[in-house]
Amino acid sequence: MRKTVLFPFIHKNTDSERRAWHKKRSLILLLLFMFMLLSSCAQQAETEQFFCMDTLISITCYGSDASTQIASAKEELERLDALLDAEDPASELSALNRGEDVSEETLSLVNTALSYSEKTDGAFDITLRPASLLWGFSGENEPHIPDESDLAALRAVTGRDQIQNLSDLPEGMSLDLGGIAKGYASDRLADLLRDCGAQSAVISLGGNVRVLGTKPDGTPYTVGIRDPFSDSVAFSVDVADTSVITSGNYQRFFEENGVRYHHILDPETLCPAKSGLVSATVICENGTYADALSTALFVMGREKAETYYRNNGDFEMILIDDQNRVFSTPGVTLTDHSDGVFTYHEIS
């Protein structure tokens, strides 16, 4: 009967066959070792930092394609900045503000932003640019406390209810995507990196962090949340495949007579929101939503933010108030780095 040899490489009868097998085995082991070494080198991190979207950007990718992936991400970010920067007269957003036609992408983000306005009962509002310009938080004006009458006059050109038709905004109205553009950009960059084959990456756009997957070794990423009262990290969270986005009163502000005036405006007063919060962090996969929401929760203040959380619950949040109290939702585990400066409270 004919014997079928299923595995010829382990079928060895003679000494020479055995010697050849040992040689082959050593070669296989050597190749395996080299492969393991290369694949551990392939997980080397590469980080690039640069300025874009008016903030410091940092992108980390891993492996042999890291530099190409980072270069594509940088190009995409510059494209989005050129589209969405209200301060740049050549941007599509400026074109929209002048009543000109713009791409589907820009219109779609503006519509998404308006839907978040609706969802947050107006706390998130992209029509506040005339007020930001008057305060000097954007544009050429020196930051200053405006005259009440000048502020009151802006009521006629602010407020999402005034928008009937995006291609024909009321005279004097001017949209600003500063509260959502970075989160949107982090989503687009995460999509792009994933399409380029990245399984693990960190995209940081100022206070907006998006992590792709876990670290290459399978452990979660640790994201630090800034102490709003100093330059240090207050506490950190361990996360995977999500966005961690913070709005704070320390990101852009001026001080007069010991009072801090910051860049997040309350749509009801057109003044810096006085909600008792100094920072609001949102954790959820959708960075566009997380960005809009962190701005909105900051405006709402703790009680309304908690109500919003209970009614929606599609995210996790961490709020810091002006009494050094930290309030977080049950899905968040915080590691304190503040040496007891903060007290921690769970939102239930």
The single residue among 178, 213, 228, 301 that binds ligand AMP, judged by CB under 6 A, is: 178
DSSP per position, 37-96: HHHHHTT-EEEEEEEETTEEEEEEEESTTHHHHHHHHHHHHHHHHHHH-TT-TTSHHHHH
The verdict on 200 binding ligand AMP (CB under 6 A) reads no
In whole angstroms, the minimum distance from the beta carbon of 340 to ligand AMP comes to 28
The single residue among 63, 159, 179, 301 that binds Mg ion, judged by CB under 5 A, is: 179
**308-326 core/surface letters (b: 16 or more CB in 10 A; e: else):** bbeeeeebbbbbbbeebeb
Which CB, 120 or 328, lies closer to ligand AMP?
Answer: 120
Are 298 and 264 spatial neighbours (Cβ–Cβ below 8 Å)?
Answer: yes
43 binds, among ligand AMP, Mg ion, none (CB under 5 to 8 A by kind): none
Structure token digits, residue 162: 């005034």
Q: For residues 103-142, which are near ligand AMP according to CB under 6 A?
A: 124-126, 128, 132, 137
Residues 268-307: x where in contact with Mg ion by CB under 5 A, - otherwise, as a string: -----------------------x--xx------------
The verdict on 299 binding ligand AMP (CB under 6 A) reads yes
Residues 263-292: x where in contact with ligand AMP by CB under 6 A, - otherwise, as a string: xxx-x-----------------------x-
- Measured between alpha carbons, how far is 35 from 40 in angstroms, rounded to an integer? 8
Structure token digits, residue 270: 């057109």
Which CB, 70 or 317, lies closer to Mg ion?
Answer: 317
- Measured between alpha carbons, how far is 234 from 152 in angstroms, rounded to an integer? 38
Structure token digits, residue 54: 């008016």
DSSP per position, 297-335: HHHH-HHHHHHHHHHH-SSEEEEEETTSEEEE-TT--EE
User: Which residues of the shown chain bind ligand AMP in the complex (CB under 6 A)?
Assistant: 124-126, 128, 132, 137, 176, 178-179, 247, 251-252, 263-265, 267, 291, 294-295, 299
User: Which residues of the shown chain bind Mg ion in the complex (CB under 5 A)?
Assistant: 179, 291, 294-295
